[in-house]
Amino acid sequence: MSVIIMLLIASISVAALFLGAFIWSVRSGQYEDEMSPPVRMLFDDQPSKKTT
Amino acid sequence: MAKVTESKTATACYHCGEPCKEKLIEAHDKAFCCEGCKSVYEILNNTGMCDYYSLTNHPGASQKFKVRADKFTFLDDDAIIKALIHYQDEEHTHVRFYLPQMHCSSCLWLLENLHRLNEGVVRSAVNFTRKEAEIIFKQKEVSLREVAELLTSVGYEPYISLQQLKGERPRIDRSKIYKLGVAGFCFANIMLMSFPEYLGIDAKEQNLTNLFRYLNLLLSLPVFFYSASEFYSSAWKSLKHRFLNIDAPIVLAVWVTFARSVVEILMGEGGGYLDSMSGIVFFMLVGRVLQDKTYEQLSFERDYTSYFPIAVTKLNGDDEQTVSLPDIQLDDTLLIHHQELIPADGIITRGKALIDYSFVTGESVPVEKQMGEMVYAGGRQMGGNIELLVVKEVAQSYLTQLWNRGSSATTIPDEERSFVHLLARYFTWVVFAIALSAAAYWWMNDSSLIWPSVTAVLIIACPCALLLSNTFTNGNIIRILGRNQFYLRHAQAIEDISKVNHLVFDKTGTLTTGRYAAIQYIGTDLDAEVWQQVAALARQSMHPMSRAIANFIKYTSKISVHSFEEYTGRGIEGVVADQIIKLGAKSFVTQGLQDFEEESVSAVYISINNKLVGHFKFQNEYRKDVPSMLKKLKRRFGISILSGDNAGEKNYLQDLLGWNAAILFNQKPNDKLTAIDTLQKHGQTVMMVGDGLNDAGALQQADVGVAVAEDTHAFTPASDVIIAASELPKLPAFIRLCKINRHIVMIAFVVSILYNIIGLSFAVQGVLSPMLAAILMPASSISIVLITYGLSQFYGWKLGMK
């Protein structure tokens, strides 16, 4: 029985963690622009300073 | 007819990709169409940022139209700076610019690497969906004006309008998303913890059963009090207006379910229906969120302030001074540059004006105005610079009043016109009838079953299926239409469109591109040499018709024109190679020569040595496939055309639409509004399709107003729908899809009724087990989602949508 209660606490806290993560991601505006992040990650960081 | 062979394949400009028609500049082994494109390339090349060109082919926007060097002088003004920036500390300033030219990954890359072009820029972050760039710069090293000029120099001219000065944009409402997240979390956990109850648990473990039940109760509280509040407020609002909308019976069902579950759990009788309740709330919220997908980057509610520039040049004696628009006062003298908007009604005090009113009145030909004449706000100056004495303040100008009148004609959009509310009401009465008869039956037979049977009926028969099928279908249709660049302002527009039976089109800018493309020459054949002479004369004038003729002939030689004269509103004349050539209205070129033919407004006549040789006929360029679209539409709808332009195209349009179609020309903005009102009084449901400010009143008066935009991010008058001009030929398919919307809702609803009948048959007997409810609820919800999604995708595909 105590095992079940332990599991219960674990499962709910993990779920709550995800809920928290979801709310945080909405609040930080991650769903506002769905176009640029997937493109942005493909850019090289600072290619050579001077090319000809 | 002059035979001019066009070069078969014009080289594409390395920067913008446009064919280099007029001239070709070769530099750095690359071809450019204009100096502007070349200079952008050079800036990027010098800073080693040519990655810009390797990410996408021809990523730039054409730089043919140079931005005036001192255009952004108003950004030196402290009051304007204060209004534009949204954060500033000792060192850094944050500003958000709207950059309509942004369109590809190269743009994104370049704009986020601005700091490499100018040391003063600290960081820039792009929001692609809204076409905005947030730029952080050190105000000590670089001024706001310099930042704007930097953006302009690489081809991204910030669009700054008066509206931005007036304050912050409304914050995006994310509360529904939070509610959805909370409901999802609680729903999933309640489901999980209901399993022991359903699958049976050892009688010895009674404590555990109670633990699960109380945990469920605890988890259902946020759903009941927070997530479902979305529906409470809507239901309460409708009840206050003495109207029963679909949310009212849903709220009733949620409350009954919650009440019964609480009673059962506290009395230790059972687990209740908390999983069903939170499931319903969760699915309904998903539907709402999908349906409420708004096009943030598009603005449907615009007023005149977003159309006007932010500041203009005011003349103080010989001093030029930049003033922001609201500060313009009576008797100020303004300097209006080429291509600038006239901000206030005024009298021309210097210079010759050639004003393009196409956006305000729909006339396609610019109007020439002389010194001393009155010009109205909203026109665009096409000639050189003019000076203007303001006679009316901005807020009282003709244009502003046009707008205000339009908006006063609007009725408050009634979100509760939808047929689902009506259906829900009938549905509710039926449910009440069933609940009452069940209660009556058990009162006579076994009164202990009244409570379980009545509550079960109300739980099962919640019209959430109807709401679900409606919101999910609407959401899907909105997204399909949006992918095809037909943007709806809200879901109710779908239903409004499906009811339309009369379409009214504006001509200039809507059916036509507003340019003269088709020019036809009718008259005696002329030598190539004479053609060049005519072109040489035409080139002398700034009038668009002359420019069009010069382009049409393809002027190649260099012939000098003597004693050139331009007569406002009539024509031009000059001596070319010892011949007097005149171009213009018929009465002008044939002075003395009598002719009784009717004069056409869209024609330019030529005479050489006072002898009429022929004329050019100008035809508006119709958008691609628009004539065939009109033919398709006239079979099913009444069609009218209201044009602010002259009647030059009347015959063509009448042929296209048949003799019973109403085609009216020279319509003032107010005439259009009354024409639509008259149609509505005759029982027609009208969709108005227009583009300009002259349509603004009509767009709002009509049952559905559709604004046509070349660039959906650019300025459009307030409307219910925005359609990209290139997609206009698909209009019949869009209307069709909106009509199909209703069928899909009905099909899904019928399916859900089947589930309801099964559930009800248990419920009236008072034996609805929580497990059965827990199976029926998600099963019906998910099948509705699948049916609506499948059907709308299928019909969209059948109608040729992306």
In the predicted structure, residue B250 carries a pLDDT above the cut 80? yes
B85-88, strands of its sheet edge to edge: B85-88, B92-98, B132-138, B121-127
The mean pLDDT of B373-384, rounded to a whole number, is 79
Q: Which residues pair with B622 in a beta bridge?
A: B512
Nearest-by-Cβ selection for A43 from B109, B129, B177: B109
Contact indicator for B219, B258 with CB cutoff of 8 Å: no
Distance CA B775, CA B466 (A): 18
Distance CA B305, CA B325 (A): 9
In the predicted structure, residue B198 carries a pLDDT above the cut 90? no
Pick left, alpha or beta for residue A49 (phi over 0 → left; psi -120 to 50 → alpha; otherwise beta): alpha
Chains A–B, number of C-beta pairs less than 8 Å apart: 64
Distance CA B308, CA B162 (A): 6
Neighbours of B715 (CB within 10 A): 18
The 3-state secondary structure of B60-96, one letter per residue: CCCCCCCCCCCHHHHHHCHHHHHHHEEEECCCEEEEE
pLDDT band (50, 70, 90) for residue A49: very low
pLDDT reported for residue B219: 92
The 3-state secondary structure of B192-207, one letter per residue: HHHHHHHHCCCHHHHH
Amino acid at site B715: F
Alpha-carbon B52 to chain mean position = 29
B326: which DSSP letter? G
Nearest Cα neighbor of B474 from B494, B459, B458, B488 is: B494
Nearest-by-Cβ selection for A40 from B108, B172, B296: B108
In the predicted structure, residue B221 carries a pLDDT above the cut 80? yes
In the predicted structure, residue B191 carries a pLDDT above the cut 80? yes
The mean pLDDT of B667-675, rounded to a whole number, is 83
Please report, to the nearest 10 degrees, the dihedral formed by the alpha carbons of residues B643, B649, B653, B654 taken in order: 100
Burial per residue of B570-585, b for 16 or more beta-carbon CB atoms within 10 angstroms, e otherwise: ebbbbbbeeebbbbbb
Note whether A51 contacts B205, CB cutoff 8 Å.
no
Q: Which residues in B lie closer than 8 A to residue A25 (C-beta atoms)? A: none
> Which residues lie below 8 Å from residue A45, measured CB to CB, with a gap of 6+?
none
The DSSP result for B465-477, as a single string, is: HHHHHHHHHHHHH
> Which residues lie below 8 Å from residue B497, measured CB to CB, with a gap of 6+?
B687, B704, B721, B734, B735, B738, B739
Note whether A26 contacts B105, CB cutoff 8 Å.
no
pLDDT tens track for B516-537: 666 778 787 778 788 888 888 8
Contact indicator for B420, B743 with CB cutoff of 8 Å: no
Most confident of A40-44, B72-76, B217-221, B552-556: B217-221
Which of A35, A36, A42 best tests the B interface by mutation, with the highest count of B CBs <10 A?
A: A36
B402 vs B681 pLDDT, higher one? B681
Note whether A32 contacts B172, CB cutoff 8 Å.
yes
The mean pLDDT of B305-326, rounded to a whole number, is 75
Distance CA B284, CA B184 (A): 11
pLDDT band (50, 70, 90) for residue B596: very low
Note whether A19 contacts B182, CB cutoff 8 Å.
yes
Q: Which residues in B lie closer than 8 A to residue A15 (C-beta atoms)? A: 185, 188-189
B304: which DSSP letter? G
Pick left, alpha or beta for residue B615 (phi over 0 → left; psi -120 to 50 → alpha; otherwise beta): beta
Pick left, alpha or beta for residue B375 (phi over 0 → left; psi -120 to 50 → alpha; otherwise beta): beta
pTM of the model: 0.76
Nearest-by-Cβ selection for B185 from A1, A19, A32: A19
Distance CA B685, CA B688 (A): 10
B239: which DSSP letter? H
Distance CA B130, CA B127 (A): 6
pLDDT reported for residue B790: 92
Residue A23 in contact with partner chain B when CB distance is under 8 A = yes
- In angstroms, the separation between the Cα of residue B184 and the nearest Cα of chain A is 9
In the predicted structure, residue B713 carries a pLDDT above the cut 80? no
B291 vs B281 pLDDT, higher one? B281
Most confident of B84-88, B306-310, B543-547: B84-88
Taking each helix axis from N to C end, the angle separating B731-763 and B419-445, rounded to the nearest 10 degrees, works out to 10
Contact indicator for B324, B79 with CB cutoff of 8 Å: yes
pLDDT band (50, 70, 90) for residue B258: very high
Sort B529 into a burial class: Cβ within 10 Å, 0-12 / 13-18 / 19+: exposed
Note whether B178 contacts A23, CB cutoff 8 Å.
yes
pLDDT reported for residue B183: 94
The mean pLDDT of B239-254, rounded to a whole number, is 83
B residues 309-368 lying closer than 8 A (beta carbon) to A: none
Distance CA B498, CA B259 (A): 41
Q: Which residues in B lie closer than 8 A to residue A18 (C-beta atoms)? A: 185
In the predicted structure, residue A47 carries a pLDDT above the cut 70? no
pLDDT reported for residue B3: 38
pLDDT band (50, 70, 90) for residue B593: low
pLDDT tens track for A6-20: 888 898 999 999 999
- For β-strands B686-690 and B704-709, DSSP reports them as parallel
Residue A49 in contact with partner chain B when CB distance is under 8 A = yes
Counting residues of chain B whose pLDDT is more than 90, the rounded percentage is: 8
Residue A51 in contact with partner chain B when CB distance is under 8 A = yes
Q: For all residues of chain A together, what is the average pLDDT?
A: 79
> Which residues lie below 8 Å from residue B794, measured CB to CB, with a gap of 6+?
none
Measured on CA atoms in the order B744, B747, B749, B752, is the torsion positive or negative?
negative
pLDDT reported for residue B164: 64
pLDDT tens track for B59-104: 777 776 666 667 777 787 777 788 788 788 888 888 888 887 787 7
> Which tokens in the block code for residue B762?
């248990």
Note whether B129 contacts A22, CB cutoff 8 Å.
no
B600 vs B735 pLDDT, higher one? B735
pLDDT tens track for B459-511: 777 777 788 888 888 888 988 888 888 888 888 888 889 989 999 998 877 88
Contact indicator for B775, B463 with CB cutoff of 8 Å: no
Note whether B181 contacts A33, CB cutoff 8 Å.
no
Q: For all residues of chain B together, what is the average pLDDT?
A: 80
pLDDT reported for residue B222: 94
> Which residues lie below 8 Å from residue B620, measured CB to CB, with a gap of 6+?
B364, B507, B508, B512, B513, B514, B515, B516, B517, B518, B648, B649
Amino acid at site B109: W
Q: Which residues pair with B335 in a beta bridge?
A: B313, B387
Residues belonging to chain B: 802
The mean pLDDT of B757-761, rounded to a whole number, is 82
The mean pLDDT of B559-582, rounded to a whole number, is 80
pLDDT reported for residue B289: 84
> Which tokens in the block code for residue B79?
């009051």
Distance CA B473, CA B489 (A): 16
ipTM (interface predicted TM): 0.84
The mean pLDDT of B775-783, rounded to a whole number, is 82
Q: Which residues in A lie closer than 8 A to residue B188 (C-beta atoms)? A: 15
The mean pLDDT of B395-409, rounded to a whole number, is 62
pLDDT band (50, 70, 90) for residue B411: very low
Residue B105 in contact with partner chain A when CB distance is under 8 A = yes
The mean pLDDT of B189-195, rounded to a whole number, is 87
Q: Which residues in A lie closer than 8 A to residue B174 (C-beta atoms)? A: 26-27
- For β-strands B85-88 and B25-27, DSSP reports them as unpaired
Which of B42, B96, B174 best tests the A interface by mutation, with the highest count of A CBs <10 A?
A: B174
B331 vs B714 pLDDT, higher one? B331
In the predicted structure, residue B599 carries a pLDDT above the cut 50? no
pLDDT band (50, 70, 90) for residue B714: low
pLDDT reported for residue B186: 93
pLDDT band (50, 70, 90) for residue B408: very low
In the predicted structure, residue B613 carries a pLDDT above the cut 60? yes
Q: Which residues pair with B320 in a beta bridge?
A: B315
Note whether A31 contacts B177, CB cutoff 8 Å.
yes
Q: Which residues in B lie closer than 8 A to residue A49 (C-beta atoms)? A: 48
Distance CA B62, CA B52 (A): 15
pLDDT reported for residue B113: 83
Distance CA B375, CA B347 (A): 6
Distance CA B238, CA B285 (A): 19
A1 vs B325 pLDDT, higher one? B325
Residue B189 in contact with partner chain A when CB distance is under 8 A = yes
> Which residues lie below 8 Å from residue B624, measured CB to CB, with a gap of 6+?
B726, B729
What are the structural domains of chain B?
1-66 (no CATH), 71-160 (3.30.70.100), 309-342+345-392 (2.70.150.10), 476-513+623-738 (3.40.50.1000), 515-620 (3.40.1110.10)
Q: Which residue of B has its CA nearest to A25?
A: B178
Distance CA B632, CA B626 (A): 10
